[in-house]
Structure 1
Amino acid sequence: MKDIRLVALDLDGTVFNDKKEITPRTLAAIRAACARGVAVLPATGRTASGIPAAFTSIPGVRYALTSNGASVVDLTTGEQLVNQPFGTEQALKIYDLLEQGGGMMSIFIGGKSYTTRANAENHMDVVPENLKSYFRTTRIEVDDMHATLRTHAHEIEKYSMIYHDEAERDAAWRAIEAACPGVELTSSLPRNMEVNAPGVTKGSGLLALAAHLGLTRAQTMAVGDSGNDHAMIEAAGLGVAMGNATDDIRKIADVTTDDNNHDGVAAAIEKYVL
């Protein structure tokens, strides 16, 4: 049996079912792994402040990989163990490009999410219904984003965009690729684009945390379902695709488990960890 000591779990479409719940079986599996001394952590595109307490309050859950790997924090001490931000000038350049293309923009800075008041007022309609409450309660609205970005230099973790349609998203994707070669572009939702600094992925964050804990790549497992999980599933010693995962994730995973509405995370932990 594999000696898995670090388990990274994506949230939406993975740990949470379509009702945004952690089922009793999945909760029991995470609890059992933590009780055995396995580090089980959320690995998400969200900020630390945006991770639901339903996960972070599980006894033994100590770490969180956030902003697609730009930050890993110790939830018990608040210490940032991994920090992989944008350079300030590149961050400003990306902001100016994204602002021109429309869509709902969120900028993740120092563990919090920011947008402009104008953007929040004009583009909330593109946010999926099951995420609108999350957006409204976690976004900090500011008037001058340039000033905010410069004030928080070396803390700018990620850009997240949701567009009105795929064509609008694809045009923005091409514009960022052309103007900022090397940046990490991923997607976790329909019509979504997420932008991280070059080399910054859930995979790089996972391996950095493993090194911090004195663990090898072979002792890591990652479970996910969508584009921003790709690097993490490739990087882990055991990469697990959810049954509801996109085709590209299923192709690169080592194994596939059940879907998020049928306790896929629990099945993977029970089989490969417990």
Structure 2
Amino acid sequence: MKKEYKLLALDMDGTLLTSDHIISPVTSTWIQKAKERGVHVCLSTGRSFESALPYGEELGLLTPMITVNGSEVWRAPHDLLERSLMEPKLISDMHAIALKEDCWFWAYSTERVYNKDHWVEALERKEWLKFGFHTEDDEARHRILMQLQNMGGLEITNSSPHNLEVNPQGMNKAAGIRKVCDLLGLDMSEVIAVGDSMNDLAAIQAAGLGVAMGNAQQVVREAADFVTASNDEDGIAKVIEKFICV
């Protein structure tokens, strides 16, 4: 008997989006077919709401959204369900680490994204959601990781092999999807979660069907129930065709 899935939770960069940061016509068509089958299609991304929204609008999604790696869950576009903030002191400490390691860094507040080129000193006046580091120096990235782990109280993942993304502990895409399931009256066993990076790992492990993209990091592919084609080969379309529209 075919398993009936009711929620399709999609990472964006490296998953829904091609390397050119667009949704291919083929993938878009198959997402519409999933919607016609009554499946809820949920963007589950490390991006901010403002960055993710245009893609949701392009697909005509009025369903819940998970943004900033689960630190924000939206009932529907512009309708915030829950938001988890980071202490300004943690942001200050991570900023100091980034400066010491001389790496690229960024931080999401509820109002905008700040980065190495555009920073704000009055940290306590902002509501913070996430901090990120990027360096292609493996030793520097390892040093940063060790310092973050020593700080405690942090959820540490990545969205590429060369970065680290930091949220409040317990805030991840799996937690966000669980909240969406509660909202929709669904069980995690009815979820297909698709992604390519470490910030998708918890969701892939918790979902009824965890899918890794063909371009996913090795640890993500190993944890998945199914590995589809890459983001440049309409991997999501193939998932919908195989597991939803059969």
Q: Does TM, scored on the shorter chain, surpass 0.5?
A: yes
Change (3 A) 1:4 1:54: same
Partner of 2:82: 82
Partner of 1:181: 152
Partner of 1:151: 125
Contact 1:187 1:228 in 2 (8 A): yes
TM-score by length of structure 1 reads 0.82
Q: How many residue pairs align between the two structures?
A: 244
1: CA distance, partners of 2:128 / 2:13: 23
The letter for the 2-side match of 1:26 is T
2: CA distance, partners of 1:227 / 1:26: 23
- How far off its partner does 1:61 sit? 4.2
* Structure 2: gaps (5+ residues): none
1: CA distance, partners of 2:102 / 2:184: 41
**Which stretch of the first structure deviates more once superposed, 22-31 or 163-172?**
163-172
The letter for the 2-side match of 1:46 is R
- How far off its partner does 1:19 sit? 2.4
2: CA distance, partners of 1:174 / 1:223: 28
Contact 1:35 1:60 in 2 (8 A): no
2: CA distance, partners of 1:67 / 1:230: 15
Contact 1:69 1:201 in 2 (8 A): yes
* Structure 1: gaps (5+ residues): 121-140
2: CA distance, partners of 1:224 / 1:59: 21
2: CA distance, partners of 1:12 / 1:267: 17
TM-score by length of structure 2 reads 0.91
Contact 1:71 1:84 in 2 (8 A): yes
Matches within 5 A, 1:99-110: 99-110=99-110
2: CA distance, partners of 1:236 / 1:151: 37
Change (3 A) 1:168 1:92: same
- How high is the sequence identity, in percent, across the aligned residues? 32
- How far off its partner does 1:159 sit? 0.6
Q: Kindly report structure 1 stretches of 4+ aligned residues shifted beyond 6 Å.
A: none
Partner of 2:58: 57
- How far off its partner does 1:111 sit? 5.7
1: CA distance, partners of 2:23 / 2:3: 25
**Which stretch of the first structure deviates more once superposed, 42-51 or 181-190?**
181-190
